[in-house]
């Protein structure tokens, strides 16, 4: 991937469509409890992955998920993941009035980033991406944005989540 035209490598083991979500702990920013997405079955998980919630493009992506993702069926859980601290997530959610999204943090050691192949080598942030996981824990959609200053195709991701929900 690139950031403002400068290349950076992605570290870890890239997940692919058809694979299961790797078992890795994230911190739920609302409860401060550990969460393992590989154990969450029965609903569709829409993972909006951002480098840092406090940047303009990440904020725009999260607003898009929160405001335009309201039309998604109730069995689609919208989740924002970054390496920001849970405290930064909570502050952002309250200030942006986007409390209907679940925020998960990979701030400790970047294990989620390594387990999914989305940890950037230079800044050790997560690469901007979307992952959609079906009700059985299988990855059904992935978009890793090639240029990190651009938004993912949220409408295409919404369509993918909607088709899984039928």
pLDDT of residue 63: 97
Beta strand pairing call for 76-82 and 139-144 = unpaired
Per residue in 127-157, pLDDT tens? Answer: 999 999 999 999 999 999 999 999 999 999 9
pLDDT of residue 11: 98
pLDDT of residue 166: 84
Closest C-alpha among 66, 62, 32 to residue 49: 62
Distance from C-alpha of 141 to C-alpha of 13, rounded to nearest angstrom: 17
**Mean pLDDT across 109-125:** 97
For the four alpha carbons of 101, 144, 82 and 94, in that order, the dihedral sign comes to negative
Distance from C-alpha of 165 to C-alpha of 7, rounded to nearest angstrom: 36
Please, are residues 92 and 63 in contact by the beta-carbon 8 Å criterion?
A: no
The residues annotated as belonging to the active site are: 58
Per residue in 42-56, pLDDT tens? Answer: 999 999 999 999 999
**Mean pLDDT across 22-38:** 97
- The DSSP result for 122-157, as a single string, is TT-PBPPEEEEE-TTSBEEEEEE-SBTTS---HHHH
pLDDT of residue 115: 98
Q: What is the mean pLDDT of the chain?
A: 97
């Amino acid at each position: 991937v690139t950031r403002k035209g400068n290349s950076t490598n992605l570290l870890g083991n890239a997940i692919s469509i058809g694979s299961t979500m790797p078992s890795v702990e994230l911190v739920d920013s609302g409860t401060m409890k550990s969460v393992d997405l590989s154990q969450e079955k029965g609903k569709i998980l829409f993972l909006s992955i951002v480098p840092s919630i406090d940047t303009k493009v990440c904020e725009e992506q999260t607003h898009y998920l929160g405001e335009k993702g309201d039309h998604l069926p109730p069995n689609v859980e919208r989740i924002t993941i970054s390496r920001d601290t849970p405290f930064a997530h909570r502050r952002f959610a309250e200030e942006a009035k986007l409390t209907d999204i679940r925020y998960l943090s990979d701030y400790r050691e970047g294990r989620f980033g390594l387990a999914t192949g989305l940890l950037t080598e230079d800044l050790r942030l997560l690469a901007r991406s979307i992952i959609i996981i079906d009700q059985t824990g299988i990855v059904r959609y992935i978009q890793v944005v090639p240029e990190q200053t651009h938004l993912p195709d949220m409408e295409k991701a919404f369509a993918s989540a909607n088709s899984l929900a039928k």
